[in-house]
Amino acid sequence: MIKGTVLDFAIIVCYFLFILGFGTFFGKYVKSTKDFFFGGQRFSWWLIGFSCVATTVGSYSFIKYSAVAYQYGFSSTMTYLNDWFILPLFIFIWLPIIYYSRITSIPEYFEKRFNSTTRTISVFILLVYLLGYIGINLYTIGVAFNAMFGWDVMITAILISFVCAVYMHAGGQTSVIMTDLAQALMLLSAGFLVFFLGIEKIGSISAFWKSLPYEFKLPFSPFNKPPDFNFVGIFWQDAFGSSMAFYFMNQGILMRFLSVRSPRDGRKAMFLVCLVLMPLAAFAVANAGWIGRSMQNLGLLSNSTDPNHIFVDVAFGITKPGIFGFIMAALIAALMSTIDTLINGVAAIGVNDIVKKFVPDREDTFYLKWARTISLAAAVIGVALVPLFMQFKSIYLAHGTFIAAVTPPMIVTILFGILWKRYTTKAAIYTLVIGSIAMLISIQWPSVLTLLSHGVAPEGLQYLRALYGLLVCTAVSIVITVLSKEKELSNIPGLVVDTIHEGKVLFKGGEPDDFDEGKIIHCYIAETSEGVSLSTKMMEYLQAKPGDILYIADERWWLGGLRSIHAKAGTPHQGVDNVLFLGSDLITQGNLDINRKVTVIKII
Amino acid sequence: MNSPWLPFIYQYSIFTIFFIFTTMIAIKKDVISLSHPTERRILFEIITGYLFFIVFHASMIIFAGV
């Protein structure tokens, strides 16, 4: 049966056109590859936080988590509510390393930390990861549209990848971040709308709560059963493996945090994501399943409903024409906000790790053209991979199998690389190669996972592949490191926890001072030939010295840093206190309006 | 049926080891300075957030039976 009316269909089309126009509009802010990939390192923490969540929540999230929520209850949230354990590692160690060492991709980090061979291997693994991720997202939306409108899976995939590629082609990272804000708000509000309309249909919160059994309300599934959703397997595959992969090796997320105006804002963005937005997203993507189960227990929904269709069926059953279209548009929003990040990530790796290697020292416009071309190519390859994922029994299985098979060698190499100064190049190469081979062996002969079963039945063993990979790679890393010669610390400034201070020195070009934050000042701009100059009093307020890096942004906070620039403080002037002298090139670069006030913050 | 507390204990045992290990490295390598008020405040917020999630999950288990 085709679900939805002409009005629903019209809303979906309008949404497509809105995102296409909105995303393409930001093309005017893209003047260089730095803008295309990192949005000029100018964005506020809240914008990055929303963008990260929009990236995390793909279209597969609504379908996959609603399905497990319908079958197993509140435990469907367990993979979204536990990223907090990563925080000390991410904000104290990883964020300063990537930000201050100015790396543009994970492979580039590998070359600086180890050598060019590790870079080549990691390029290959990362491209498989990112392109596969694009493919599975397109497959999921194809399945959803097939259930709704009877459209062919491939045609849906082609249509949506085309829209994403067009606005990505124009606006790069800036378009990604700005459209992600709109899409995050949309998908969160649609998720909550489903819940409120569902409760209205059921009668009351109390009726909803009482209709659900005890096991359904537990936050974790049983320890080692059922085979397809046991706690221990999901813990290692999703809560640990996928979370680590998402924050440490996903090129899209790396670039998101490199787009932030300072590590301090990156820290705030991470707090916002883990503490507020991820719990909200967990609720938004899963509650259709809970509502569906409650409705079924109360006789309001058929017992034969397919779990994979529960999101669409519940949304259709509780909404009126128009609202259903809005919720389906949110599903598309979830997809597009994930795919655009991945496409941008592929373009970054393509340009920085492949094109620049073979065609070095060309003008930036040359690489910008390549970035745009690779964005289109990534969308095409993602579509081509859809038939591969169509062969899996379920979306959950396809997604989990793919992520667990690809990520452990990279995660372990990154973790040892940043935490252990003794970790050697030879160990990194062996970890990537032997680790990848070990993962292939476990796919071919799943019985190797039996030792780690934790009592899980054989048909659920694939969920423990991530743990197997992490253990094999850790063992290889330690043994080979002990047997090989370490790199001098002086050769890896800013790339390992021991040398973060050296990284800050290189970033600033002098001794860093990022402990004293100083105050935020608001002032007017006066155009000058070059450089930045504040009054002595303003410098005191900022606790800044000449040579410190400042962040100058349009005073309108809601722009999120879209009109802003980083610049080094020059010698203080003796003029009026609320005037900042700013070079005309910096004004143009930061898209600043000289008729408006700006805020100034000391970064380092 | 397995005890509902078993996954809770398993998850937070592993996470706590990881959490403490990475925090200790950051302190030991002087990436954060406990003598600085801002850094101390951030560390306090992170630990509080971690405890919040432990309490949140424990509450969910307790209230599931209500």
Kindly indicate the confidence band of residue A332, based on its pLDDT and cuts at 50, 70 and 90.
confident
In a domain, A1, yes or no: no
- For residues A119 and A277, the answer to whether their CB atoms sit within 8 Å is no
The domain spanning residue A308 has which CATH number?
1.20.1730.10
Indicate the residue of A88, A223, A517 with minimum beta-carbon distance to B22: A88
Q: Of residues A271 and A392, which shows the higher confidence score? A: A271
pLDDT digits (tens, 9 = 90+) for A260-290: 888 888 999 999 999 998 999 999 999 999 9
Q: Are residues A358 and A241 in the same domain?
A: yes
DSSP letter assigned to residue A573: B
Q: What value does the mean pLDDT take over residues B14-36?
A: 93
In the prediction, which pLDDT does B63 show?
A: 92
In the prediction, which pLDDT does A63 show?
A: 83
What is the SS3 assignment for A38-83? HCCCCECHHHHHHHHHHHHCCHHHHHHHHHHHHHHHHHHHCCCCCH
In the prediction, which pLDDT does A16 show?
A: 76
C-alpha span between A74 and A218 (Å, rounded)? 6
pLDDT digits (tens, 9 = 90+) for A521-538: 888 898 888 888 988 888
Q: Which domain holds residue A553?
A: 513-602
Q: Are residues A311 and A186 in the same domain?
A: yes
In a domain, A452, yes or no: no
Indicate the residue of A84, A217, A517 with minimum beta-carbon distance to B38: A517
C-alpha span between A419 and A313 (Å, rounded)? 48
Taking 70 as the threshold, does the pLDDT of residue B29 lie above it? yes
Range of lowest pLDDT (A2-11, A65-74, A271-280, B34-43): A2-11
Residue of B nearest to A501 (CA): B31
**Domain stops at, among A407, A423, A445:** A407
Q: Are residues A392 and A521 in the same domain?
A: no
CB burial string A173-212: b at 16+ within 10 A, e below: bbbbbbbbbbbbebbbebbebbbebbbebbeeeeebeebb
The top-scoring range by mean pLDDT among A2-16, A173-187, A351-365 is A351-365
- For residues B60 and A73, the answer to whether their CB atoms sit within 8 Å is no
Q: Of residues A32 and A213, which shows the higher confidence score? A: A213
Q: Please give the mean pLDDT across all residues of chain A.
A: 86
pTM for the full predicted model: 0.86
C-alpha span between A417 and A492 (Å, rounded)? 10
Residue of B nearest to A90 (CA): B22
Radius of gyration of chain A (CA): 25
Taking CB atoms and an 8 Å limit, are A231 and B29 in contact across chains? no
Which single residue is written with the structure tokens 């899963």?
A286
Taking 60 as the threshold, does the pLDDT of residue B1 lie above it? no
In the prediction, which pLDDT does A134 show?
A: 86
Residue A561's SS3 state is coil
Taking 70 as the threshold, does the pLDDT of residue A169 lie above it? no
C-alpha span between A249 and A7 (Å, rounded)? 41
Q: Are residues A81 and A208 in the same domain?
A: yes
In the prediction, which pLDDT does A423 show?
A: 95
Residue A393's SS3 state is coil
Taking 90 as the threshold, does the pLDDT of residue A575 lie above it? no
pLDDT digits (tens, 9 = 90+) for A289-314: 999 999 999 999 988 888 878 988 89
C-alpha span between A383 and A373 (Å, rounded)? 16
Q: How many CA atoms lie within 13 A of B8 on its CB side?
A: 16
Taking CB atoms and an 8 Å limit, are A219 and B61 in contact across chains? yes
In the prediction, which pLDDT does A396 show?
A: 66
In a domain, A309, yes or no: yes
In a domain, A485, yes or no: no
**Domain stops at, among A407, A440, A465:** A407
Taking 80 as the threshold, does the pLDDT of residue A24 lie above it? no
In the prediction, which pLDDT does A30 show?
A: 67
Structural domains in chain A (count):
2
Kindly indicate the confidence band of residue A594, based on its pLDDT and cuts at 50, 70 and 90.
confident
Q: Of residues A204 and A80, which shows the higher confidence score? A: A204
Q: Are residues A192 and A323 in the same domain?
A: yes
In a domain, A445, yes or no: no
- For residues A328 and A352, the answer to whether their CB atoms sit within 8 Å is no
| ipTM score | 0.95
Closest by CA position to A482, among listed A561, A408, A424:
A424
Q: Are residues A70 and A189 in the same domain?
A: yes
Indicate the residue of B30, B50, B64 with minimum beta-carbon distance to A218: B64
pLDDT digits (tens, 9 = 90+) for A399-417: 777 777 789 999 999 999 9
The domain spanning residue A553 has which CATH number?
2.40.40.20
In a domain, A454, yes or no: no
pLDDT digits (tens, 9 = 90+) for A434-468: 999 999 999 889 899 999 999 999 988 888 999 99
In the prediction, which pLDDT does A38 show?
A: 65
Taking CB atoms and an 8 Å limit, are A275 and B22 in contact across chains? no
Q: Which of B14, B28, B31, B48 has the highest number of chain A CBs within 10 A, making it the mutation to test binding with A?
A: B31
In the prediction, which pLDDT does A408 show?
A: 94
Identity (one letter) of the amino acid at A72? Y
In the prediction, which pLDDT does A182 show?
A: 81
pLDDT digits (tens, 9 = 90+) for A130-159: 888 888 888 887 877 777 777 888 888 888
In the prediction, which pLDDT does A121 show?
A: 93
Q: Of residues A394 and A330, which shows the higher confidence score? A: A330
Q: Are residues A229 and A97 in the same domain?
A: yes
β-bridge partners, A573: A535
Q: Of residues A43 and A206, which shows the higher confidence score? A: A206
Q: Of residues A490 and A240, which shows the higher confidence score? A: A240
A→B contacts (Cβ < 8 Å), by residue, are: 74, 81-82, 84-85, 87-89, 91-93, 96, 214-215, 217-225, 231-232, 235, 239-240, 267, 271, 274-275, 419, 497-498, 500-501, 515, 517
In the prediction, which pLDDT does A429 show?
A: 96
Q: Which of B60, B61, B62, B66 has the highest number of chain A CBs within 10 A, making it the mutation to test binding with A?
A: B60
Taking 90 as the threshold, does the pLDDT of residue A558 lie above it? no
Indicate the residue of B7, B39, B50 with minimum beta-carbon distance to A220: B7
In a domain, A121, yes or no: yes
**Domain stops at, among A407, A439, A472:** A407
Q: Are residues A183 and A315 in the same domain?
A: yes
Q: Are residues A280 and A396 in the same domain?
A: yes
DSSP letter assigned to residue A89: I
In the prediction, which pLDDT does A459 show?
A: 87
Taking 70 as the threshold, does the pLDDT of residue A518 lie above it? no
In a domain, A374, yes or no: yes
